[in-house]
Structure 1
């Protein structure tokens, strides 16, 4: 699935360093836009708006950026995204500007579709082990996701590797083709150990005899 770029308008940022704490308290997130052939830009954006755009774009969908009061626009990908680990607030975003005529590399998510007959027949669990692959493509031709139909997994021992993924013709796969993407985990079988009643009674009787012998010895 080829990407459709999302759009966002950013504002120039004047507060730097520790002073950006004022912005965050006001619900504004510092943004750093950088890339080949351009001067890095200190920008900012409303937190809720930026979070919505990042949720749509992920790391593989290009973002069309306009800067308020400036002509033209930039095409960029979300790169480093910092969150507050305690409050879960968005703290900072790095955006990498891209040239539409030059290939870029992105981690593209693998999305499972369908149902595995092999897992169903043994009440097994489909284990999604690899969730992204590295893809190289032109920015506007980068797939937003790679769909993987697991209905081909008809046997309990079926596996799917990176080499089995369907990659668009205009994109290049960079990940290890032997890496495991999906497998079926068989259900665990609990084995109960039953103790024969006769054996238990024999052990109890032996214990009683030993006790009697001990008492007789003490006398």
Structure 2
């Protein structure tokens, strides 16, 4: 995966007032931590950071902190619940070759067999992978799967160097029998009939 370079500045003022001043200047408060170092409080350019975060699990090369560059992954992103702007970001320092746990999306391709309805239980999966080679996602082909089929996460074919970091027996998807329109209407009518029949019985009891 590609790296996104982003320039950081040290942050020396703290508190809500200081954070508001940082954001008014078009920047975002952030903290850089990991690998046994003390957390380093920084600010990042808001526009550049917003663009970078559009890529899931983006790898940032944070420049200008302690005179060295740091590779980092966003681990917690706080946004304003109404306006959506970035309020704060936690960045985890990583190194090449290091394994990290991340969530990647699962995309289904193909069509199930006729008469089947597809239900995707897991839209993402947690994996353990190299920090500098995080896959963008994983695909699973459902072509021709018959009604009654259940697929678990263990059946995903992950890229080399990537492994599941969650329960392999958890359900990925289910293919159930598609209900016909007539069957659905019949069930609805039966339910209505049961409701109508209950009123006289209640009246008789009274």
Give the TM-score, by structure 1 length: 0.74
Secondary structure of the equivalent of 2:21? Answer: helix
Q: Which has the higher strand share?
A: 2
Other structure's SS at 2:84 match: coil
Cα deviation digits, residues 139-191 of structure 1 (max 9, x gap): 1233221122222x421222321011001231221211111112235347222
Alpha-carbon contact 1:7-1:53 (below 8 Å) kept? no
Matched-pair contact (CA < 8 Å) for 1:64–1:75? yes
One of 56, 61, 75 as aligned partner of 2:71? 75
**Contact kept? 2:7, 2:45, Cα under 8 Å:** no
Deviation at 1:12, TM superposition (A): 2.1
More helix by share: 1
Aligned-partner Cα distance in 2 for 1:127–1:51: 33
Match of 1:128 in 2: 120
**Structure 1 unaligned regions, length at least 5:** 195-219
- The answer to whether 1:41 aligns with 2:40 is yes
The alignment status of 1:64 with 2:61, answered yes or no, reads: yes
Distance 1:30 1:17 in 2: 11
- Mapped pair 1:96 → 2:92: yes
Give the C-alpha shift of residue 10 in structure 1. Answer: 2.1
For 1:7, the equivalent position in structure 2 comes to: 5
- Report the CA distance between 1:123 and its aligned residue: 6.7
- Decide which moves more: 19-28 or 88-97: 19-28
1:148 aligned residue: 140
Structure 2 runs not aligned, ≥5 long: 191-206
Q: Conserved in 1, the CA contact under 8 Å of 2:28 and 2:87? A: yes
Q: Considering only CA atoms, is the larger Rg found in Structure 1 or Structure 2?
A: 1
Is the Cα contact below 8 Å between 2:78 and 2:88 reproduced in 1?
yes
Equivalent pairs counted in the alignment come to 184
Query: Structure 2 CA distance, aligned partners of 1:23 and 1:73?
Result: 22
RMSD: 2.3
Name the SS for the 1:130 alignment partner.
Answer: coil
Give the TM-score, by structure 2 length. Answer: 0.78
**What is the DSSP-based 3-state SS (H/G/I as helix, E as strand, rest coil) of the residue aligned with 1:92?**
strand
